[in-house]
Amino acid sequence: MTIIFGILGTFALLMQTMWALLPAGFGAANFYEKYGAPIGVIGYLAWATLVIAHPVSLYYLWSGITNDAETVFSWILFPIPIHIVFFVVFGRNVSTQ
């Protein structure tokens, strides 16, 4: 049963990763275009942090499953607050134009 939850958690993290790569990438690019280099770089760094959080969560999810950790599935929720903060601050304009 734990393996099934791990697979479902992996699917959820992969969907979050796609959301972080596509709309968040457009949001970071539009933020950089609107505010320029000094502040726009902060947006790109926040986007990189958002993207890196997903493989880290996936690693800790599966290393916790193989080591029988009790709080393993909380790593699925780890990127969600980062998503919320990123989209509130940097990713408001996710258009491709």
pLDDT the model gives residue 69: 67
pLDDT the model gives residue 62: 83
pTM equals 0.78
Output phi, psi for 93, to 5 deg: -110, 100
Q: What average pLDDT does this structure show over 27-54?
A: 86
Which amino acid, residue 97?
Answer: Q
Query: Which CB contacts under 8 angstroms, 24+ apart, belong to 28-34?
Result: 28/90, 28/91, 30/93, 30/94, 30/95, 31/90, 31/91, 31/93, 34/93
